[in-house]
Amino acid sequence: MSDATERSGVGEDVRLGFPSSAPAVYDSARRAPRWIEEAVQLWRYRGLVQELVIRDIKVRYKRSVLGILWTMLAPLLNMIALTLVFSSILKTAVQNYPVYFMTGSIFWAFFSQTTTSAAQQTTASNELAKRMFLPRSVFIASAVGGGLVNLILSLVPLILILLITGYPFHPTWAFLPVSILVITLFTAGISLLLFTVTSRFADVREMYTVLVQTWFFLTPIVYEPSIVPFRYRVLLSLNPMYHLIQVFRKPIYDGVLPSPTLLAGSFALSVAVLITGWVYFSHRSDKMAYWS
């Protein structure tokens, strides 16, 4: 694919090897709307996004003994601990707790790790983008890309647990790519918002860590929503993560597709968050060079 795109642009710039569609003239007085310009630049620098994702994976595993196994081991250990607590001590009524918990925790790990990493990218991005032209959205895209790689990897221990506990593989697994798409759009939107705010105020990063921790417990990940007292159900339904987690969990755990209402609602919400994040981010991105 990349061969084709590169060859098609051979016209002028093989010599430079610059992204072949790059405009030859930059005119500060004639710029496209910010949200378009940022999107064009992000596409142009997609090779860098790929490179950053690869770098982060390599750096993470280069000096660790367990290497890539760790990504898969961590959710397993978590699951074992919580299964012990919930099935033996709290006597949960959830059937096959390991699968129930792991579907939720994989989803949550993707969201929290990606957004946290996006917030941390501000430092790295400032260091580079202050000195050379780069669309800062590449750093957010690379956080999302890295999160996706981890998400895929952590499906391996989940499958392992399904096999061990003899849980059925529902045909609705085939729906998983759609679920992942929906939660990725939402996560990318939050990442954009968070990155923008953190660029201006560094302490938001710590605040977010605390927030995400609380949010985890307010979302039915380790417990089932039915144990939530009736008067708090409204609050629960206001939590976007409550709906998104179901989009991800239902095809695996319940073996059913998310209802059209749930799916349409989650999709609309995710797209709305992404658009808001994108517009806010690109609107502020000119300013980021001053803030840093």
User: Within 13 Å and on the Cβ side, how many CA atoms surround 135?
Assistant: 26
Residue placing its CB nearer to other proteins in the complex, 193 or 204: 204
Per-residue contact string for residues 59-88; x = within reach of other proteins by CB under 8 A = x--xx-------------------------
Q: Please identify which residue in 84, 90, 207, 211 interacts with other proteins, judged by CB under 8 A.
A: 207
Residue 126 in tokens: 């400032």
At what angle are helices 46-62 and 137-153 packed, to 10 degrees?
50
Give yes or no for a contact between 188 and 274, defined as CB atoms under 8 angstroms apart: yes
The single-letter code of the amino acid at 148 is L
Alpha-carbon distance of 127 to 285, in angstroms, equals 15
Q: Which of 80, 160, 209, 286 binds other proteins (CB under 8 A)?
A: 286
∠ Cα 228 248 230 (to 5°): 15
Q: Which residue lies nearer to other proteins by CB, 2 or 226?
A: 2
Q: If binding is defined by CB under 8 A, does position 47 make contact with other proteins?
A: yes
25 binds other proteins (CB under 8 A): yes
Q: Which stretch binds other proteins (CB under 8 A): 107-115, 198-206, 249-257, 270-278?
A: 198-206
Q: Which stretch binds other proteins (CB under 8 A): 42-50, 83-91, 181-189, 223-231?
A: 42-50
11 is an interface residue for other proteins by CB under 8 A: no
Report the residue from 40, 50, 172, 216 that binds other proteins according to the rule CB under 8 A: 50
* Contact (CB, 8 A) for 106 and 155: yes
Report the C-alpha gap between 173 and 252 in whole angstroms.
Answer: 6
Which is nearest to 102 in space by CA: 152, 154, 180, 179?
A: 154
For other proteins, the closer CB: 20 or 172: 20
**Binding residues for other proteins restricted to 122-141, rule: CB under 8 A:** 127-134
Measured from the CB atom, is 130 or 233 closer to other proteins?
130
Instruction: Round to whole Å and give the CA distance between 191 and 115.
Output: 5
204: Cβ–Cβ under 8 A, 6 or more apart, which residues? 119, 194, 197, 198
Which residues would be at the binding site for other proteins (CB under 8 A)?
Answer: 2-3, 6, 13, 15-19, 22, 24-29, 44-45, 47-48, 50-52, 55, 58-59, 62-63, 127-134, 197, 200-204, 207, 286, 289-291
